[in-house]
Amino acid sequence: MGDSLEKPDMHEALGQPSPWVIRFARLIPEGEVLDLACGTGRHSRLLASQGHPVLAVDRNADSLALAAGAGVQVMKLDLETGDLAISWPFAAGRFSGVVVTNYLHRPLWASLASCLKAGGVLIYETFALGNEQFGKPSNPDFLLARGELLDFAQDHDLRVIAFEDGCVTSPKPAMLQRICLVKRGDAESTKHFVLN
């Protein structure tokens, strides 16, 4: 089953931000943050409360209505179908941070890396192979292979700050993979981050 990623109070209710995102959000430098596949905006609100202007993107209008708020601009986009599936709408180097949780669409990975500024932080957390034993998602197309986020980081010259791959038991049992990455730039190659 793999090592447990569980820590005390690892996840609260489903509407609460992920502890992984909470832990690493403070590393995001000043500037705009993209919350991709934001759902009802649990991470958008967290990031806005930390002073970041947030662009919350999702394909579900009802979820976006709940995500909207002070410091959070919402945008309805379906990045998997139509013209947007082949045309990423965000400029290279636009965002100081990108947050993606519970969403996997591999064709977007190069665009996610590109839209980060040098020194920008990418926080990614989603389901991994083995999750099928717990329910959905169970389709391997929507589950990360072991170490797949590490391969993504290497392929796009992103510096790994932290990585975990294993089982959690709350808010419900799941196999997850999660990573915190920094886009390399001259100063970022030697910068140290305080992790606790």
- Domains of the chain, by residue range, sit at 19-187
Q: Say what the pLDDT of residue 4 is.
A: 41
More confident residue, 87 or 83: 87
Q: What letter represents residue 162's amino acid?
A: A
Q: How high is the mean pLDDT of the chain?
A: 87
Question: Rounded to whole angstroms, how far apart are CA atoms 145 and 142?
Answer: 10
Q: Is 58 exposed, middle or buried (0-12, 13-18, 19+ CB in 10 A)?
A: buried
Q: Which residue has the higher pLDDT, 130 or 60?
A: 60
**How far, in Å, CA of 169 to CA of 4, rounded?**
8
Q: What CA–CA distance (Å, rounded) separates 168 from 179?
A: 15
Structure pTM? 0.87
Task: Please tell me the CATH superfamily of domain 19-187, with its number.
Answer: Vaccinia Virus protein VP39 (3.40.50.150)
HSE-CB at 176 with a 13 A cutoff on CA atoms is 27
Nearest 5°: the CA angle 34, 156, 124 is 40
Mean pLDDT of the 63-78 span: 94
User: Which of 3-7, 98-102, 190-194 reaches the highest mean pLDDT?
Assistant: 98-102
Residues near 127 by Cβ (< 8 Å), separated by ≥ 6? Answer: 102, 104, 137, 142, 143, 144, 174, 175, 176, 177
- Total Cβ atoms within 10 A of residue 22: 14
- Evaluate if residue 162 carries a pLDDT over 70: yes
* Banded pLDDT at 141 (limits 50, 70, 90): confident
Whole-number pLDDT of residue 161: 97
Q: What span, in angstroms and rounded, lies between the C-alpha atoms of 69 and 183?
A: 28
Smallest CA-to-CA distance from 118 within 187, 44, 16 is with 187
